[in-house]
Structure 1
Amino acid sequence: MKAARALALALLLASGLGLASSAPHSRSGGEILQRFHAGLADADCRKSSARWRSHYARAAEHLADEDEIALAMFGYVLDEVREAGLPSEFALIPFVESRYRADARSRGGPAGLWQFTAGTARRHGMTVRGAVDERFSVVASTEAAVRYLARLHRLFGRDWRQAVMAYNAGEGALRASRRKGAARMSGITRSYPAKLNAIACLFDQRADNARWRRAIERQVPRLAPRRLPAGSRDLREWAVAQGLDADLVLALNPGWHPGARAVLAPIGADAGRTAPDEAN
């Protein structure tokens, strides 16, 4: 079974490579997963938690759901994580925090893809005031999360497990627990690395399922931050003018408000991270 699974995964990754070169403004899920697996700090699934694989089984199905935007958004977050030199495991955090929903709200106050509290968001440079809440901006929140994770990764000796536990509990709490013993940490914090490992292993496990593999091999748009012209008041109007799927752009930017300039959108056939006519 393990050999068959490895072969299935290899075929999936190979298919992604083949499709990507013909469509630079899009890519297959196979290409995204190839990049994901190449950047894992720990690809060993022999001790993967059965409990957490069961708990997060929907994460793999969420990527395969053609009506969802999670696969394209996962590709964007993975790009940001890998470009910062961080392990792929960090791109799985939004599965645990928000099920990869940019509009997620928690009862206790955290919000957005990365589930920042209002206070933490402000400390990391996001605006949370009145009608403006950048926790719902995938661009702003991902940039803040990646900066914070990079800091934690350095602070805790590039140990990805320690870094993600610090992300969950706070760096002060993790330092205190290291002085007093790991048992002082909550079970939620202690299990955080195991949850991420389980999700990574789920992708490996699902690769031997033909239905899932076909769904993942679909093409999805490459996403990147785009900058709107100053004074933009209508995101749908801008998307239509750019020749983009306006409903997709609106779904990718639940926190957009008139006057905001940074949005997440498909790069388009000829657009880069910021199109020349959007610079001002």
Structure 2
Amino acid sequence: MSRRLALPALAALLLAGCQVPVKPDAVEPPEPVAVVKVAPLDGPAATAPEAPPAPEKPVAPDPMDTGAEVFDHLASRFSAPVCVKGQHNQAWRRRYAGYPAGFARNMEKVLPLMAYVAAELERRELPAEFALIPIVESWYRPEAIGPGGPAGMWQMIASTARGHGIRIQPGYDGRLSPVEATEAALDHLDMLADHFDGEWRAMAMAYNAGEYRILRAFKASGDRRVSGESHLPRGLSRTTYDYVAKLHALACLLARPERHGLVLPREASFVPLARFELPAGASSLDQAALSLGTDGATLRRLNPAYRQGRIAAGVPRVVLA
């Protein structure tokens, strides 16, 4: 039996506050120049020193495949302090951790997708806290449709999605593709980094409320401080302040579970998700599943962008499996 048949089911989970959402440079050193010394006429001929070996390309780390790897990876990248003081933040920690067994089960179910997103965030040098956005938005449900029209595990509205190249047409909604939606969401967050100098809390508020609303609030208050706890900048909705508080709360729970009576599924193992090109000629996900070593039901559940599992002509053909 293929290992991919072991993919855990992503059951429909509670929406923890489904929101309407609305990306640093390496300088290469100069090429080394070998200096050749000219030997005296009566001496032995000098030889040019050997050029230093070319630097090795960094080796991509092995994909995370256990809960311990995912939680430790995220905790190592969260901004300090992880557990932020304040009654508002504490209230959200209590709310998420109120049913420890249920929280652990939910976390285990989302591990494969969260590992995929965490790796993409690290590759693009974006804050690890953003791996928690799909929990706040949809509990990592690729098929989620929110009030007012946002869709997918990142809950993107159509205009934002189209602005980042997502295809939305009859038979296909790229917001429901974990591959397309994650790429577009990180593109959007990367763009927000330019507006807000990489300050992840301001970027998160802008993801929720729109960058121009946050910029207007900064201008009106003459203050660029950001805090969900202190409701900064002034003039935003409670939902937007809560958005940052939820991310703070989740980061604290994952990094310091023992403080809140939680036992995370560190021993849980899973088959890492990877991107695959759909086989040429495949007209349905059921048909493609045979070539990808998985089953049709799993492929459809992970990739609901293809309505009823049918692959329309001209749509993107990259899936997660």
If the length of structure 1 is used for normalisation, what is the TM-score?
0.77
Q: Percent identity?
A: 37
The question of 1:255 aligning with 2:295 is answered: no
Higher helix fraction (1 or 2) = 1
Higher strand fraction (1 or 2) = 1
2:253 pairs with one of 196, 202, 208: 202
Structure 1 unpaired stretches of 5+: 1-23, 266-280
Task: Please tell me the residue identity of whatever aligns with 1:75.
Answer: A
1:236 pairs with one of 286, 297, 311: 286
Cross-structure match for 2:31: none
How far off is 1:70 after superposition? 0.9
Distance (whole Å) between structure 2 residues aligned to residue 218 and residue 66 of structure 1: 12
Structure 2 vs 1, CA of residues 59 and 237 (structure 1 numbering), >3 Å: closer, same or farther? farther
Aligned residues: 241
Cross-structure match for 1:192: 243
The question of 1:72 aligning with 2:112 is answered: yes
Contact persistence 1:52–1:198 (CA under 8 A): yes
Cross-structure match for 2:27: none
Instruction: After superposition, give the CA deviation of every residue in 1:12-56 in whole Å (9 maximum; x if it has no partner).
Output: xxxxxxxxxxxx676111001111111112343151612111333
Contact persistence 2:96–2:103 (CA under 8 A): no
> Aligned to 2:65, what secondary structure does the other structure show?
strand
Cross-structure match for 1:115: 155
How far off is 1:237 after superposition? 3.0
How far off is 1:252 after superposition? 1.1
Distance (whole Å) between structure 2 residues aligned to residue 59 and residue 204 of structure 1: 18
Distance (whole Å) between structure 2 residues aligned to residue 108 and residue 179 of structure 1: 28
Contact persistence 2:162–2:168 (CA under 8 A): yes
Cross-structure match for 1:264: 320
Distance (whole Å) between structure 1 residues aligned to residue 210 and residue 279 of structure 2: 37
Instruction: After superposition, give the CA deviation of every residue in 1:212-263 in whole Å (9 maximum; x if it has no partner).
Output: 34x3321111112211123321222322333225433222111124144110
Contact persistence 1:64–1:216 (CA under 8 A): no
> Where do 1:13-52 residues align within 5 Å?
27-47=65-85, 49-52=89-92
Instruction: After superposition, give the CA deviation of every residue in 1:162-201 in whole Å (9 maximum; x if it has no partner).
Output: 1111111111111101011222111211232221010111
How far off is 1:116 after superposition? 0.8
> Aligned to 1:42, what secondary structure does the other structure show?
coil
> Where do 1:73-222 residues align within 5 Å?
73-181=113-221, 182-207=233-258, 212-213=263-264, 215-222=265-272
How far off is 1:61 after superposition? 5.7
Task: Please tell me the residue identity of whatever aligns with 2:251.
Answer: A
Cross-structure match for 1:3: none
Structure 2 unpaired stretches of 5+: 1-61, 222-232
Structure 2 vs 1, CA of residues 241 and 107 (structure 1 numbering), >3 Å: closer, same or farther? same
Larger radius of gyration: 2
Distance (whole Å) between structure 2 residues aligned to residue 207 and residue 40 of structure 1: 17
Contact persistence 1:63–1:71 (CA under 8 A): no
> Aligned to 1:263, what secondary structure does the other structure show?
strand
Task: Please tell me the residue identity of whatever aligns with 1:264.
Answer: L
Distance (whole Å) between structure 1 residues aligned to residue 242 and residue 211 of structure 2: 16
Contact persistence 1:59–1:199 (CA under 8 A): no
Contact persistence 1:63–1:70 (CA under 8 A): no
- Of the structure 1 ranges 224-233 and 107-116, higher mean CA displacement relative to structure 2 is found in 224-233
Q: What's the Cα RMSD here?
A: 2.6
If the length of structure 2 is used for normalisation, what is the TM-score?
0.68
Structure 2 vs 1, CA of residues 62 and 236 (structure 1 numbering), >3 Å: closer, same or farther? farther
Distance (whole Å) between structure 1 residues aligned to residue 275 and residue 104 of structure 2: 24
How far off is 1:96 after superposition? 1.0
> Aligned to 1:191, what secondary structure does the other structure show?
helix
Task: Please tell me the residue identity of whatever aligns with 1:140.
Answer: E
Distance (whole Å) between structure 2 residues aligned to residue 208 and residue 64 of structure 1: 15
Task: Please tell me the residue identity of whatever aligns with 2:188.
Answer: Y
Contact persistence 1:227–1:262 (CA under 8 A): yes
